[in-house]
Amino acid sequence: MHSIITGKRLKDEGVKAGVADLCILLKNQTIFIEMKTEKGKQTIYQKEFEAIVKSYGHQYYVLHSIKECEEFLKNVLKIDI
């Protein structure tokens, strides 16, 4: 949860509630990744965004650590990082 000041700053910068943290554009697919802490859970806005993304045929993943993200990029997307 952000403070009111941080929330206002993010809104002023154009950040939209629920939009995934990462968007990976590949030749034939778009992948959205929401990063969470080990015990982090999606907000209702994030779940709504996920539903929209999937309804358009895109992929959406919730990952819970930088290590998990690195493994996903290397092993699933075959991106050398």
pLDDT tens for 2-53 read 677 876 776 777 677 899 999 999 888 899 999 999 999 999 999 999 999 9
What residues make up the domain containing 66? 17-76
Q: What is the pTM for the complete model shown? A: 0.80
Ranges of H-type helices in the chain: 4-12, 44-55, 66-71
The answer to whether residue 67 is domain-embedded is: yes
The answer to whether residue 53 is domain-embedded is: yes
pLDDT at res. 68: 94
The answer to whether residue 2 is domain-embedded is: no
Integer Cα distance of 74 and 48 in angstroms: 28
pLDDT at res. 1: 55
The owner of tokens 């075959």 is 78
pLDDT at res. 10: 67
The answer to whether residue 10 is domain-embedded is: no
